Structure 1
Amino acid sequence: MTRTVITGISGRMGSTLVRLAKAASDLPVVGATVRPGSPLAGQDAGLVARLGAPLDVIAHDDLGRALDGAKADVVVDFTGPEATLHHAKVCAERGVALVVGTTGFTPEGRAQLEAHAKRIPIVAAPNMSVGVNLVIRMAAELARVLGPSFDVEVLEAHHRMKKDAPSGTALKLAEVLVDALGRSKDDLTFAREGQTGARPPGEIGVQALRGGDVVGEHTVYFFGEGERIELTHRATNRDQFAQGALRAARWVAGRAPGLYDMADVLGLQGKT
């Protein structure tokens, strides 16, 4: 049994996590939070998460209070960069493992997360979907095999409410492509306009689309002479993100302190 606390349960991802954790037999939800000052604080978490039935767990507007007496093994967090960093600090102080699905961290925020991971185990990934993480691995392998003779582009699409662009997943794809091709971050191009001239050798384009209710789509294009390869993942609902996060929660509880990602959870590190 992995005793779980879920943050931000009134949001789309938080409520999905509560629903799927409740349906699991080994992930009892022992704590939950809403944003500070929310009028939902003090209500039953099952009702806040719109399960249609009580969960017999009170939603607090402070993670410390949610952890009091909960004997939690792990906290699962998909809130926002500022809130997540505060939650990581609380988890580090309490010795509770953490799963982070939040994106949009600044370099300074990422450094804070790394500092907290010296005290507790943290799984942090821009996308918790098992399928997406396999696509990331496959993109790197394709890049290595195809080499510099293919032009590489990353295109992502998300709903109109997404706050960061490009998505964390697109940036992760760009990162692994840079590594696989032996290039640098200076080779990444995030916008094209006007008389740009011919495409520079070694350039990797990363472009973002926003609109409607798109849950998430990512495509890596490999353009060659006379052929094109497209590697695509399309998410049609948020369940797969939540299922991946809960898989990470099971995996990280009881681990040694450190900053892990979904490749660790899936056993993909070091494999080709």
Structure 2
Amino acid sequence: MGADNIRVAISGATGRMGRQLIQSLLLKSNCYKSVVFTAAITNSNSKFIGSDVGRLIDGRSVGIVIHDSIEDIYKDFDILIDFSSSQATLNYLKSCNMYNKNMVIGTTGFTEEEFVFIKKTSQKIGIVFSPNFSIMVNVMLKLLEKATSIIGGMSDIKIIELHHRNKKDIPSGTALKIRQSILSVLFGSDNKKVRNMFSKMNNDYDIDIHSMRAGGFVGEHNVLFANDGESLEVIHRGFDRSIFASGAIYSALWLGVLKVGLFDMVNVLGLDEI
């Protein structure tokens, strides 16, 4: 293994995104060939504990055993990519803080207090935190900021989001981030009317979020601007979870082992410079 390679562990390895990340890493796309998949973690109740991760993908052995604790594998990785559950993420975060390991967090459903803990931990380790690692979703956020600055004040604004039937958090973290971005443009990021992205309801300004859970939809977000004479819709549709895996792996490459602080996909993609 080369000196510049980054060793990555996956937490939530047996979930939808965990399996997608493992598959993407094993395929070794040239765009992240310097990332080496070295460890996997899942919850302690999983039937896959002690199994080879290849069992999750195509049955072939790849020589990486699934564990249920970072303590078992902390010497085997540099960065943890986490798509698990909010409580599991916080536990993994404590361990990464202890062992000085950077994290890429794609888990959603945190409370404001839990996010404060994530932010505090980022004073010691590097964290890329994003409710959505799709490159196009994050470009969409920049487009929405521009659209809001032009027509937001003259429009009713609604957000509609659709995900698979098993997604637990409602609204989605991406929908909450979209609303936060729009409100920041309308009122300024420091204005008291701008509720944080973890608030489920907003009473200061009427941007409703309509959530649907059905079938196997990967994810769709539709933002509607409407007035009496016309309307504009900005829509993103995800067709495959590989888009999130690619963004998370790219974020791990960008973060590396030396960066310290709290970052998001805007930082990773350089969109803050636009």
Give the equivalent residue in structure 1 for 2:43.
35
- What is the CA–CA distance in structure 2 between the aligned matches of 1:128 and 1:57, rounded to whole Å? 25
Task: State whether residues 79 and 103 of structure 2, in contact with CA within 8 Å, keep that contact through their aligned partners in structure 1.
Answer: yes
Task: State whether residues 31 and 59 of structure 1, in contact with CA within 8 Å, keep that contact through their aligned partners in structure 2.
Answer: yes
- What is the CA–CA distance in structure 2 between the aligned matches of 1:206 and 1:185, rounded to whole Å? 15
Q: Find out whether 1:6 has 2:10 as its counterpart.
A: yes
**Cα distance, 1:254 vs. partner?**
2.6
Aligned residue identity for 1:165: I
- What is the CA–CA distance in structure 1 between the aligned matches of 2:181 and 2:242, rounded to whole Å? 25
- What is the CA–CA distance in structure 1 between the aligned matches of 2:27 and 2:159, rounded to whole Å? 36
Give the equivalent residue in structure 2 for 1:222.
225
Give the equivalent residue in structure 1 for 2:253.
250
Query: Could you give the per-residue CA deviations for residues 208-237 of structure 1, whole angstroms, max 9, x where no partner exists?
Result: 111111111101111133221100001112
**Cα distance, 1:54 vs. partner?**
1.4
Aligned to 1:222, the other structure's residue is in SS state strand
Percent identity between matched residues is 33
Give the equivalent residue in structure 1 for 2:141.
136
When normalised by structure 2's length, the TM-score is: 0.89
**Cα distance, 1:66 vs. partner?**
2.0
Query: Could you give the per-residue CA deviations for residues 100-151 of structure 1, whole angstroms, max 9, x where no partner exists?
Result: 0000001111111111111100001001111111111111110012141111
Give the equivalent residue in structure 2 for 1:152.
157
When normalised by structure 1's length, the TM-score is: 0.90
Give the equivalent residue in structure 1 for 2:242.
239
Aligned residue identity for 1:36: S
CA, structure 1 residues 8+201, in 2 after alignment: closer, same or farther (shift >3 Å)? closer
Give the equivalent residue in structure 2 for 1:26.
34
Q: Name the count of aligned residue pairs.
A: 261
Aligned residue identity for 2:144: A
Give the equivalent residue in structure 1 for 2:71.
64
**Cα distance, 1:201 vs. partner?**
10
- What is the CA–CA distance in structure 1 between the aligned matches of 2:140 and 2:58, rounded to whole Å? 32
**Cα distance, 1:38 vs. partner?**
2.5
Give the equivalent residue in structure 1 for 2:104.
99
- What is the CA–CA distance in structure 2 between the aligned matches of 1:129 and 1:40, rounded to whole Å? 28
**Cα distance, 1:270 vs. partner?**
4.2
Aligned residue identity for 2:94: K
Q: Find out whether 1:211 has 2:214 as its counterpart.
A: yes
Task: State whether residues 151 and 202 of structure 1, in contact with CA within 8 Å, keep that contact through their aligned partners in structure 2.
Answer: no
Which consecutive aligned stretches of 4+ in structure 1 deviate over 3 angstroms post-superposition? 188-191
Task: State whether residues 76 and 249 of structure 1, in contact with CA within 8 Å, keep that contact through their aligned partners in structure 2.
Answer: yes
CA, structure 1 residues 120+190, in 2 after alignment: closer, same or farther (shift >3 Å)? closer
Aligned residue identity for 2:107: T
Root mean square deviation, CA, Å: 2.2
Give the equivalent residue in structure 1 for 2:271.
268
Gaps of 5+ in 1: 192-199
- What is the CA–CA distance in structure 1 between the aligned matches of 2:95 and 2:200, rounded to whole Å? 35
**Cα distance, 1:190 vs. partner?**
6.9
CA, structure 1 residues 167+86, in 2 after alignment: closer, same or farther (shift >3 Å)? same
Partner of residue 57 from structure 2, selected from 23, 30, 50: 50
Gaps of 5+ in 2: none
